Amino acid sequence: MIKIHKRTLDRIKDGVKTYQKVVATLRERDVSEADTVTVVKDMLADVFGYDKYLELTGEQQIRGTFCDLAVKINNKIKYLIEVKAAGVDLNDSHIRQAVDYGAKEGIEWIVLTNGLNWHLYRLKFAQPIEHEEVAAFSVLDIDLRKDDDQKKIFLLTRESIDDGAMDAYHQHSQLLNRYTIAQVIRQDAVLSVIRREIRKMFPDLKVDKDDIATVIDEEILKREVLESEKARDATSKVNRASKKLARQAAKKKAAKKTASDQSNDDADTSN
């Protein structure tokens, strides 16, 4: 899904190693937000690969107020960055503030950080506007030997913008999660496979798909993956995908029938 070039990964590793000491010191000294912004801007250049002077803007004006930083490529804002002081624990009010900036500017990607902890959010411009955390990591705790941690930090890099990595990662996380898998398991086709395998192993056991579905819903899956908002969203996605597959199968079947009928007509004509 996401390919990180060695040169990029080496820069990230070297930068993280350097700035782990820096941000730890910032927190110990309880420096101001302005000082934290300065270091975050340095990190965006040294760790994430942006041109500090051409691709990063400070105090981005958002309808009468200001967001701390913005990543701007080819005169287009890619994401906003709201920075809090290194010694401040990030909370829901900070998230709402960052999301509000993005909503007012019509920018779907927002980053909230205190230099140590980094959170990437994607906005959904519905009514009301919704937001979802796509990735989060701590500079002090991140383990860049792990593939998942590499991908999370890569999302904020200059290279990821060219690769469209944010959208790809978000789409992947939207589909490959416990909610989607739970809904796939509950599909009729999957229940049929489970029933067939059970009957194959235990021929004397009488079981139908409804029995299997009941056990899955009541004894295997957690209520959260069946009844939450994310579960309902996953159900919609799975149902749409199933209907699409059914339409494609029907279209393919119709095309084969048409080709067969045409072949028979041609054979009759030749006779």
Encode pLDDT of 44-101 as tens digits. 999 999 999 999 988 666 666 778 899 999 889 999 999 999 999 999 999 988 888 8
Output the CATH code of domain 6-165.
3.90.1570
Phi, psi angles (nearest 5°) of residue 118: -125, 130
Q: Which of 49-58, 202-211, 244-253 has the lowest mean pLDDT?
A: 244-253
Helix, strand and coil content of the chain, in percent to the nearest 5, comes to 60, 15, 25
More reliable by pLDDT, 169 or 95: 95
More reliable by pLDDT, 151 or 179: 151
Asked if 85 contacts 30 with a C-beta cutoff of 8 angstroms, the reply is yes
Residue 243: pLDDT band (50, 70, 90) is confident
Nearest CA to 68 out of 20, 120, 135, 114 is that of: 114
Residue 26: pLDDT band (50, 70, 90) is very high
Beta bridge partners of 79: 71
Please report where in the chains the tokens 């994607």 appear, as a residue. Answer: 122
pLDDT at 270 over 80: no
The predicted pLDDT at position 158 comes to 95
Structure tokens belonging to residue 62: 């958002």
pLDDT at 38 over 80: yes
Concatenated DSSP letters of 123-162: EE-SSS-EEEEEEEEETTT--TTSHHHHHHHHTTSHHHHH
Reported as a single tens digit per residue, the pLDDT across 119-151 is 999 998 877 888 888 999 999 999 999 999 999
Residue 152: pLDDT band (50, 70, 90) is very high
Spell out the residues 6+ positions from residue 103 whose beta carbon is closer than 8 angstroms to its own.
123, 125, 129
- What percentage of the chain carries pLDDT values higher than 70? 93
The predicted pLDDT at position 238 comes to 78
The predicted pLDDT at position 233 comes to 78
Q: How many residues does the chain have?
A: 271
Residue ranges matching CATH 3.90.1570 in the chain: 6-165
| Interval 208-219 mean pLDDT | 91
pLDDT at 106 over 70: yes
Give the CA dihedral 21, 22, 23, 27, nearest 10 degrees: 90
Asked if 240 contacts 247 with a C-beta cutoff of 8 angstroms, the reply is no
Beta bridge partners of 118: 113, 137
Handedness of CA 63, 37, 55, 6 (dihedral sign): negative
The predicted pLDDT at position 194 comes to 93
Q: Please list, residue by residue across 127-166, b when 16 or more beta carbons sit within 10 angstroms of its beta carbon and e when fewer do.
A: eeeebeebbebebeebeeeeeebbbbbbbbbbbbbebebb
Pick from 22-26, 56-60, 158-162 the range whose average pLDDT is largest: 22-26
pLDDT at 172 over 80: no
The 3-state DSSP class for residue 89 equals coil
Phi, psi angles (nearest 5°) of residue 81: -130, 115
